[in-house]
Structure 1
Amino acid sequence: GPMRVAIALIGLLVALPPGARAADDPFADGGPLYYVPAADLLPALPVPPSDGVRACDGSLRCVDGVIRDMRRRWRPLDAACDHDAVFAFTYLVTTETYRDFVRDPAFFTDNAFVNNQDRLFANFYFQAHDAWAAGDVARVPPAWRVAFRAAEQGAVKGMGNVLLGMNAHIQRDLPFVLYAIGLTKPDGATRKTDHDRVNLILRAAADRLLDEAAERYDPSLASGDLPGTALDATALNLTLQAMREAAWRNAEALALAPDGAARLLVARSIEAEAWLAGLALRAAFAYGLFDGPAARDAYCEGRDDGAAGGLLGGLLGIAE
């Protein structure tokens, strides 16, 4: 399960010599930004090529469209200081960071393929978000129900909202997306190289993601900072690497299932693991007896939107 993968990744991190930890690290000379490419060391299983689902044409216009759709959903949540705004905002920041990276046409071995994945992956979130907003709970996957209900009830701290959303989207949605688009290129090469390369983007987004979300919504999101370091962002990135590695392995299990019945069992296992992980995260980040969301809500409602908006910089520069 995901916890075993997380433990394995941490073990690899400890075992790596210092030189190996810095290999291919774009932040190695840029200050206290740490990226450990632990998941890159874990090889893919051989999976036959397949015709993947196409959600867009793979151009940068795909990514721009995703950002517009994210903004449209995030804005009313932000205006209401809805606790769901925290994950919506962090996903928006991450996608904008992704767009910055894929301006380089050679960042991935197949940029168009990963841009298509970006759209399909976002669609899973949009469908869950829209179904919950419409009261159609039956169409909301269990892990997403945990995340949305915790936000609706004001049950967890800001980091809980972030991680509940990431758990539902990565541990639940991502295996199905990866299976749908295909894990292997037509020439037989694995697509895991590009999958793991996304971790670089997530690392680049992590500091900005936490700092700006803390500034807008909940100062406790920055409480993990140690002066002069980015250890909280590094810890978040390692968590995401573990989640994404588990998602890849679950996608392999879907692809390698011998028949539909076996594949259904894998799908049910994915749903159950993500749901149980969500329940554990909700418990871990729940408010205690002597605290609650009141201070956070008052902070958000009293913020200076002009100042907070300035933090976004070019984030909202995509034309409507």
Structure 2
Amino acid sequence: MPTLVKTIATAVGVILLCAGGPTTAGAAPADGTVSCEGPVPDCVSRLEHTLAAVRDELGCDHRAPFAALYVRVQGALRQTLRERPALFAEPTWVARDLDAAFVSRYLTAYRDDRDGRPVPRAWRIAFTAARTGQTNAAQDALLGANAHIQRDMPYVLAGLGLVTPGGATRRGDFDRAQAVLDRAYEPAVQDIARHYDPLLATADARWNPVARLTAHQLLVLWRRNAWHYAERLTAAGTPGELRRASRAVEDNAAAWGTLLAAVQVPGYRLVRDGYCRDGRSTGATPPLPAWQPRQLPASLASGRLPEGD
């Protein structure tokens, strides 16, 4: 019973901290929250359509590459659930609770920024680069992914709980979800290269400012960091500890965002904008590949964390 009480108290504290703490964006607007009912593939399909509407609304806006990536992730999750319904021990937690809460975080940040409300630092870095920077589309996609995974995900995980009602860890399902990202990764890169930036067609693994890590490896690392920071949030036993854990989340995501936005090429914004306007395809979206879990890189097997944390 004490463990259950602590879990509930921590979840409430995380929710309150995210809603009104000094390092966050403030309370979510009413239209920033999505929920899912019914069969889990149908739930994911509705979230996919919601994100596709955001992507289409953005057009050639430099925030669109991340939205396009996110649509692909939802499509991969929907298709994987239909093809392998036994993949997850708790499919409703992964595809309904976690996914809906996670998508809500992105929609809140997107709509807050769109409507002139403050957003968390990592999102501010991403949106500022998209609005005024000379970054390429891969950077914009990764800046959004960094803010969403390393900043938003720890709060979502801690708020939902890292263990089942019966006390079993949810880490296995969280790790298995990496296969969904792996499935979505290459089609997402192709989408972004076709619609937003030709650079990705030839330089996806070599453009980024994080030496010796591909974009895929960054996503693996960031998800492991997210679980680590969720554990810190969950373990916080006092308001002071919770504030310090939250500050670590915010600082880590902002530091990564600053690094990712550092490399900019003068004039490249005009190149991208012209490419998107003149050659943006309106053809059918290529299908997802067959489900094929990717081997985790040995260097990331233990989930390396940023130095000094």
CA displacement, residues 231-261 of structure 1 (integer Å, 9 cap, x when unaligned): xxx9322211100000000000000111122
How much does 1:158 deviate?
1.1
Match of 1:298 in 2: 274
Distance 1:95 1:248 in 2: 20
Distance 2:204 2:255 in 1: 28
| 1:1-320 matched pairs, under 5 angstroms | 50=7, 55-57=35-37, 59-78=40-59, 81-103=60-82, 104-115=84-95, 116-136=97-117, 138=118, 140-224=119-203, 235-284=214-263, 286-287=264-265, 289=266, 291-303=267-279, 305-306=281-282, 309-312=283-286
Distance 2:253 2:204 in 1: 28
**SS of the residue aligned with 1:310?**
coil
For structure 1, which segment, 53-62 or 114-123, has the greater mean C-alpha deviation from structure 2 after superposition?
53-62
CA displacement, residues 199-257 of structure 1 (integer Å, 9 cap, x when unaligned): 1111111111101210111011222369xxxxxxx932221110000000000000011
**SS of the residue aligned with 2:87?**
coil
How much does 1:50 deviate?
4.3
Change (3 A) 1:312 1:76: farther
**SS of the residue aligned with 1:164?**
helix
How much does 1:144 deviate?
0.4
> Aligned partner of 1:217: which letter?
Y
> Aligned partner of 1:130: which letter?
R
Cα contact 1:214–1:220 (8 A) shared by 2: yes
> Aligned partner of 2:55: which letter?
W
Between Structure 1 and Structure 2, how many residues are aligned? 252
Cα contact 2:66–2:141 (8 A) shared by 1: yes
Cα contact 2:73–2:184 (8 A) shared by 1: yes
Change (3 A) 1:265 1:310: same
Cα contact 1:199–1:237 (8 A) shared by 2: no
Distance 1:61 1:100 in 2: 10
Match of 1:16 in 2: none
Match of 1:8 in 2: none
Structure 1 spans left out of the alignment, 5+ residues? 1-46, 227-233, 315-320
Cα contact 2:7–2:234 (8 A) shared by 1: no
CA displacement, residues 172-217 of structure 1 (integer Å, 9 cap, x when unaligned): 0000000011101122211000000111111111111101210111
Cα contact 2:194–2:281 (8 A) shared by 1: no
Distance 1:304 1:276 in 2: 33
For structure 1, which segment, 268-277 or 54-63, has the greater mean C-alpha deviation from structure 2 after superposition?
54-63
**SS of the residue aligned with 1:127?**
helix
How much does 1:108 deviate?
0.5
Distance 1:60 1:174 in 2: 21
Percent identity among equivalent residues? Answer: 33
Cα contact 1:57–1:112 (8 A) shared by 2: no
Structure 2 spans left out of the alignment, 5+ residues? 16-33, 206-212, 289-309
> Aligned partner of 1:117: which letter?
L
Distance 2:280 2:226 in 1: 39
Cα contact 1:146–1:275 (8 A) shared by 2: yes
Change (3 A) 1:174 1:304: closer
How much does 1:105 deviate?
2.2
Cα contact 1:206–1:236 (8 A) shared by 2: no
The two structures have a TM-score, normalised by structure 2, of 0.76
Change (3 A) 1:153 1:204: same
Distance 2:286 2:127 in 1: 25
Cα contact 1:83–1:154 (8 A) shared by 2: no
Distance 1:65 1:141 in 2: 26
Task: Give the superposed CA RMSD.
Answer: 2.2
Distance 1:275 1:205 in 2: 25
